[in-house]
A and B are shown apart, each in its own frame.
Chain A
């Protein structure tokens, strides 16, 4: 898809000449204060810091401020908070069983961070922390390492049974074991790239179509396309948060119950 976009972009550049596309500027990490181009060291307060903090603030607003009434008959905000709580709680319980509920706060943290980052990123001029592979890779690696550690701590060496298919014929088992090990180590890669890739693609698409709006004849089409993609992105933002979370639950289930 990227190649197609490039071709179209190139074509229009040749035709119109004046068209400028910056589909990736929105992903730049900049210091929030000070000059553009200032070095971004690890402690610098950057736009990433700002939008992550905003996500955390939204979590606080929804789940802490929104529920401060502790009402038996909830307000609208409290109802929404309870809905999110029930949704994730049920997901953890259904997928991992009762034993997994111990890790519910962590999974809730992941879900809410991704959800709010995704949705805040859809605001115009926003920055999306979850569109960066650095962020999603840390999340995915965190899940991968914790799940592996939990697996070994709970089951000892029996955790390796995850790779040893007892149902398969004996001569196939080593082959399947190799495939299983590879797929196990690919998990964090797919886990992280799926999330970042989806968001990057959508945001970049919107920018590209916005670039076309400079041509008067195409601009109505461009606006329609942006609207459509935006609608799609609203779905993607929620779905990707859900997918990331449920995959985390599935990996956790593998760690808690390694037998197939």
Chain B
């Protein structure tokens, strides 16, 4: 293959570059130069890499991995704390609700007790008033009844005297009382 290319090159070039073979890769006289400078270049690159570049990049990558791990741990910690705070908040809320319910119940009981006392007092007052009124009514009724018998005695006496009979006042009264007693 190489020979064909050389031939072609020479044919095409028409002797423009007469010196040397067609394919510079096969020019052995240039080998020492290339090999020497190649070894120098590789040595320089190896020196730079092993001395400066690779340890530095390795350190940076390790540091970054460390930072990321730390950050993830810190985030995990923060999340844990947030969850704790949330639990505490929920607990406080529940406590407050319980407390509120307790206060409501207590107040309700207090009010109920006060109410009962007041009710009792009022009932007693009402009862007292009722009794008083009853007594007044009874008095009035007694008075009325007494008036009625008096009136009846008077009327009966008058009637008896009107008939011309000398009525014994005491007998008339007794008779009236007896009749009234029957009625009553």
CB contact list, B27-48 vs A, under 8 A: 27, 29-42, 44-46, 48
The bracket for how many chain B residues form the interface is 35 or more
Is A63 at the interface (CB under 8 A from chain B)? yes
Contacts A13-B11, A59-B45, A70-B60 known; A42 to B54 CB distance under 8 Å?
no
Q: Point out the residue from B13, B24, B58 that lies within 8 Å of A21, measured CB to CB.
A: B13
Contacting residue for B53 out of A3, A25, A64, A110, CB 8 A: A64
Known: A2-B1, A113-B41, A131-B25. A42 touches B32 (CB 8 A): yes
A64 to B55, CA, bound (A): 10
The proximity string for A residues 67-108 relative to B, scoring 1 for CB distances below 8 Å and 0 otherwise, is 100111010001001100110000000000000000011101
> A108 to B37, Cβ gap below 8 A?
no
Please report the C-alpha to C-alpha distance between residue A56 and residue B42 in the assembled complex, in whole angstroms: 8
Residue B75 CB within 8 A of the other chain: no
Nearest B residue (CB) for A82 = B57
Most chain A C-beta atoms within 10 Å of own C-beta, residue among B19, B20, B31? B31
Contact status A129-B38, CB under 8 Å: yes
Contact count band on A = 35 or more
Structural contact, A64 and B63, CB atoms closer than 8 A = no
Q: Which residues of chain A are near B31, meaning CB under 8 Å?
A: 134
- Establish whether residues A49 and B49, one from each chain, have CB atoms under 8 Å apart when the complex forms: no
Among A4-12, A154-162, A236-244, the one that faces the other chain is A4-12
Q: CB-CB < 8 A to A110: which residues of B?
A: 42
CB distance from A212 to the nearest CB of B (A): 12
Whole-angstrom distance from the CB of A248 to the nearest CB of chain B?
A: 13
Alpha-carbon distance between A51 and B171 when the two chains are bound, in angstroms: 169
Q: Is A200 an interface residue (CB 8 A)?
A: yes
Report if A55 contacts B (CB, 8 A).
yes
Q: Is the CB of A5 within 8 A of B48?
A: no
On whether A20 and B13 interact (CB within 8 A), knowing A70-B59, A113-B41, the answer reads: yes
Q: Which residue from A5, A37, A135 sits with its C-beta under 8 Å from B34?
A: A135
Residues of B within 8 A of A46 (CB): 30, 33-34, 37
Q: How far is the CB of A133 from chain B (nearest CB, A)?
A: 5
A contact residues around B25 at 8 Å (CB)? 27, 131-134, 196, 200
Contact of A56 with B41 in the complex, beta carbons under 8 Å:
yes
Interchain CA distance A110-B58 in the complex, whole Å = 18
Q: Are B54 and A105 in contact, CB atoms less than 8 angstroms apart? A: yes
Q: Is B4 an interface residue (CB 8 A)?
A: yes
Partner of A29, one of B33, B56, B63: B33
CB of A192 to closest CB in B, whole Å: 11
* CB-defined contacts of A9 to chain B, threshold 8 Å: 8, 12
B45 touches A112 (CB 8 A): yes
Please name the residue on chain B nearest to A28 by beta carbon.
B24
Q: Given the complex of chains A and B, what is the CA–CA distance between A60 and B50 in angstroms? A: 12
Contact A109 B60 (CB under 8 A): no
Instruction: Determine the distance from Cα of A135 to Cα of B22 in the docked complex, in whole angstroms.
Output: 18
Residues of B within 8 A of A42 (CB): 32-33, 35-36
Known: A21-B12, A27-B23, A43-B36. A67 touches B42 (CB 8 A): no
B168 → chain A closest CB, angstroms:
140
Contact B44 A56 (CB under 8 A): yes
Q: Is the pair A72, B63 in contact by a Cβ cutoff of 8 Å?
A: yes
7 extra interchain contacts, Cβ-Cβ under 8 A, other than A9-B12, A20-B13, A67-B60? Answer: A3-B1, A46-B34, A48-B38, A63-B48, A72-B60, A110-B42, A134-B25
7 A-B residue pairs with Cβ-Cβ distance under 8 Å, sorted by A, are A20-B12, A21-B13, A29-B24, A43-B33, A74-B60, A82-B61, A138-B35
Q: Which residues of A contact B (CB under 8 A)?
A: 2-3, 5-6, 9-10, 13, 19-25, 27-29, 37, 39-44, 46, 48-49, 52-53, 55-56, 59-60, 63-64, 67, 70-72, 74, 78, 81-82, 85-86, 104-106, 108-110, 112-113, 129, 131-135, 138-139, 196, 200, 204
Which positions in B face A, CB cutoff 8 Å? 1, 4-5, 7-9, 11-14, 16-17, 19-20, 22-27, 29-42, 44-46, 48-50, 52-54, 56-61, 63-64, 67
